[in-house]
Structure 1
Amino acid sequence: MIKAVIFDLDGTLLDRDESVKKFINNQYKRLHKSVGHIPKEKYTTRFIELDIRGYVWKDKVYQQLVDEFEITHVNWEDLLQDYISEFKHSCVPFPNLISMLEDLRKGNLLLGIITNGYGQFQMDNIKALGIEKYFKTILVSEWEGIKEPAPKIFKKALEKLKVSANESIFVGDHPKNDVKAAQNVGTKGIWKKDFQWENVKANITVDDLTELPLIIKSLNNQ
């Protein structure tokens, strides 16, 4: 019997690729006096390249941008601070996010989030999506002192939700950090399909979040 659903955040609930594009376009407009000597396409494309889909923290990204583009009117620390304070205004949810969470809540399922990243930054993004109220527990790696794919952070989420591993499913976009890591603690790993990977050994694959309530209903009817 599935009693709990635990989610990854970036690439699963938050469409990070679209959010980053929106943010960097907005930053270019906002700081045009400082970065306007760089063609917009060049600035935005290079940021996205250096970001490596969030796996490089933005201190390194902005240091590289300042150096490459000879940015002198603003320093990398100011650009980083702008990212930290403004990114939340560019958060783009995946389609059907709220309706899916509503359906799960109506089904009396317990919901949690496990996400790698900086605590306040990730919480700001969760609040920006308007979804904080749906979750009984939210674990962010900085605050927990543990990162995915470590089993300990998954086990902690299960403890917080008071469910066993086989009573829960984990939904994420990363084959190793999400799907395999969840399976390693005995939880079903649901892969939220992402274009950069193929042949992911997940228990179930979903293209759209709306599939989840039906999947859970099916699992509970077996």
Structure 2
Amino acid sequence: MRFTNKTDIFFDLDHTLWDFERNSALTFEAIFQKHGIGVNLQEFLKHYVPINQYYWVLYREEKIGHQELRYKRLKDSFDRMSYTVEDATVDLISDDYIRYLPTFNHLFDGAIDVLDYLKPKYNLHIITNGFQEVQTGKLRNSNIAHYFATVTNSEMAGVKKPNPKIFEYALNLAKTDRASSLMIGDSFEADIEGALNVGLDAVFFNEFKMEVRKDIAQVFHLSELKNIL
């Protein structure tokens, strides 16, 4: 499948361009050392990653707020390991996590190369459910902010992907329309179904090679975007 007549490309940030899991692990390594948290990092991450994903779904569905997300994903992970941490320390770790996370800036393999390829051909944009303060730091510190004409986050739009309003907000901010635009992201529900439901074409960054419908455009490596754009 090759997309033609597109002028604007919208990317998700975390898990699509910015290697969230790798950077998150490095962040926890640094702050656990700072706070003297005596847990095995890999065992902690084994619990934390699915717990974090679970709470992000609740956050995306407006069932919890961001403070509850930040606290519970840590507290539940420590509880799962039967490791006691005072609430005040959990709060400190939570604050430091948000502060340290944008300082680690590994991108997915091929990210810079494909952005260099797309930049002269299209207007590039970001649509992210992440917190504004954190996402701004990630874009700046990883030296990719200059590729993007606009950045839409859920705090600006007042809703989160897959809510149609965030896509409408992003299109208006970019001064473009659905027919001329394309969404690229790793979350099938938030990025792909969210975009398709508002009439926006989408490409699934299918890093883990999930089984998806045959009518869904997908790439397994970012470099493959050159073959369809």
> Please, what TM-score do these two structures have when normalized by structure 2?
0.82
What is the Cα deviation at residue 15 of structure 1? 1.7
Separation in 2, partners of 1:161, 1:43: 40
Equivalent position to 1:8, from 8, 12, 37? 12
Q: Which position in structure 1 is the counterpart of 2:219?
A: 206
Asked if structure 1 preserves the Cα contact closer than 8 Å seen for 2:55 and 2:73, the reply is: no
Asked if structure 1 preserves the Cα contact closer than 8 Å seen for 2:157 and 2:169, the reply is: no
Separation in 2, partners of 1:54, 1:25: 21
Q: Which position in structure 1 is the counterpart of 2:51?
A: 50
Separation in 2, partners of 1:175, 1:73: 34
What are the within-5 Å matches in structure 2 for residues 108-127 of structure 1? 109-127=122-140
Question: Structure 2: 5+ residue runs without aligned partners?
Answer: 60-68
1:180 aligns with 2:180: no
Equivalent position to 2:37, from 35, 38, 47? 35
Equivalent position to 1:91, from 93, 101, 105? 105
Q: How many residues align?
A: 212
Q: Quote the RMSD (CA, aligned, Å).
A: 2.3
Question: Structure 1: 5+ residue runs without aligned partners?
Answer: 217-222
Asked if structure 1 preserves the Cα contact closer than 8 Å seen for 2:203 and 2:218, the reply is: yes
Separation in 2, partners of 1:152, 1:119: 17
Asked if structure 2 preserves the Cα contact closer than 8 Å seen for 1:179 and 1:202, the reply is: no
Asked if structure 1 preserves the Cα contact closer than 8 Å seen for 2:185 and 2:192, the reply is: yes
Separation in 1, partners of 2:175, 2:9: 12
What is the Cα deviation at residue 177 of structure 1? 0.9
**CA deviation string 1:143-179 (max 9, x = no partner):** 3211101111112212222222111110011112111
Asked if structure 1 preserves the Cα contact closer than 8 Å seen for 2:127 and 2:153, the reply is: yes
Separation in 1, partners of 2:71, 2:86: 16
After TM superposition, the runs of 4+ consecutive aligned structure 1 residues lying more than 6 A away are none
Q: Which position in structure 1 is the counterpart of 2:156?
A: 143
Separation in 1, partners of 2:189, 2:86: 40
What is the Cα deviation at residue 190 of structure 1? 0.3
What is the Cα deviation at residue 91 of structure 1? 2.9
Separation in 1, partners of 2:41, 2:176: 49
- Percent identical pairs in the alignment equals 26
Equivalent position to 2:25, from 21, 24, 32? 21
> Please, what TM-score do these two structures have when normalized by structure 1?
0.85
Separation in 2, partners of 1:29, 1:199: 41
Amino acid at match of 2:180: E
Separation in 1, partners of 2:14, 2:178: 22
